[in-house]
Structure 1
Amino acid sequence: MPNTLIFVDMPADDPAAAGRFYAEVFGWRDDHKPEGVYHRMVPGGMFPNPDGSDSAIGNLHLGIFDPANARPHPESDGVEPRAIATQGRKPRIWILIGDDDTPERILSAAEARGATVLWRDHFWGTFNGLNHAFRDPWGNEIVLWGKAGDPPKIPEGYTRE
């Protein structure tokens, strides 16, 4: 069995507020462990089988940690750096848009809660996806990925690469 990605963490200087943000924008369950220190965002559901039925593999979770004392760590007081990175490129988190949701609703909900829309309406042929992106109030970049279909159906006005 290969090494398996099971979790991705992102920083927020207010994990409780970030947990509420993602629960409200995406409808995920916010498990605080403990509240304000580390929040596990649980999207629910299972990865689909090729026939569309649920597989035995649960969707990946997203962790939100406080950079002032990133847990877990062997040092009880944590270590430097203790601030969110504000300059340059950072990891981006890709979210597959559910079949019963829209990028417009997600971007609107995120923006209403303090996010900044980075771009809308872009087709990336390499992965056959319709992409949109926002920066959350803590500086994390979220890229939305929608299925373009086979053959791809690219809406009018989309940029392409």
Structure 2
Amino acid sequence: MPDTLIFVDIPADDPSAAATFYADVFGWRNDPRPEGLYHRMVPGGQFRNPDGTESEIGNLHIGIFKADNARPHPQPEGTAPRALSIEGRKPRVWLLIGDDDTAERILKEAVARGATELWRDHYWSTFNGYNHAFMDPWGNEILLWGKAGPNPAIPENYTRE
């Protein structure tokens, strides 16, 4: 059996504020462990089977850690770097837009809470999806992926690759 991805953490200088941002934008449950140092964001629900029913596999969670003292670490004071990485390439987080949600709503809510819209309305044929992106107030790049479905009707205003 291969090694398994179980969690992805993103940095913030204020994990409590970042957790509130993600709870407000995506409706995720904020599970502070402990408040202000590390927050587990719980999307809820289960991955879907091909027929649309819920599987036994729970959706992945995302963690938000305090950038100046990332836990866990064997040293109580942590280690450098202690600042957010705003410039340059870094990991990106991809989120599937739920069937009862829209990229427009997500982008509007994110920007209203301090995010920067990076781009929108792009069709990526390699994975047959409609893509949009924003940077959260802590510099983390979030990409939204919408299902295009079989024989997609790509809107005229969308860029394509």
Do the structures match in fold with TM over 0.5? Answer: yes
Number of the residue aligned with 2:58: 58
Shift of 1:90: 1.0
User: Residues 33-58 of structure 1: CA distance to partner in whole angstroms, max 9, x if unpaired?
Assistant: 00100000000000111111111110
1:155 positional shift:
1.6
Q: What are the Cα deviations for residues 79-106 of structure 1, in whole angstroms up to 9, with x where unaligned?
A: 1111111221111000000000000000
Question: What displacement does 1:153 show?
Answer: 2.2
Misfit runs of 4+, over 6 Å? none
Tell me which amino acid in the other structure corresponds to 1:133.
A
Q: Please report the TM-score for the alignment, with normalisation by the length of structure 2.
A: 0.98
Pairs within 5 Å for 1:1-161 = 1-161=1-161
Superposition CA RMSD, Å: 0.6
Q: How far apart are the structure 2 equivalents of 1:66 and 1:20?
A: 14
Q: Which amino acid aligns with 2:107?
A: L
Task: Please state whether the residue corresponding to 2:101 is helix, strand or coil.
Answer: coil
Consecutive unaligned residues of structure 2, counting only runs of 5 or more, are none
Q: TM-score, normalised by structure 1?
A: 0.98
Task: Report the Cα distance in structure 2 between the residues aligned to 1:13 and 1:81, rounded to whole angstroms.
Answer: 12
Cα deviation digits, residues 76-135 of structure 1 (max 9, x gap): 110111111122111100000000000000000000000000001000000000000000
* Aligned equivalents of 1:112, 1:86: Cα separation in 2: 20
Gaps of 5+ in 1: none
How many residue pairs end up in the alignment? 161
Percent identity of the aligned residues? Answer: 73
Partner SS state of residue 77, structure 1: coil
Paired residue secondary structure (1:17): helix
Cα separation, 2, equivalents of 1:58 and 1:49: 12
d(CA) in 1 for partners of 2:91, 2:153? 29
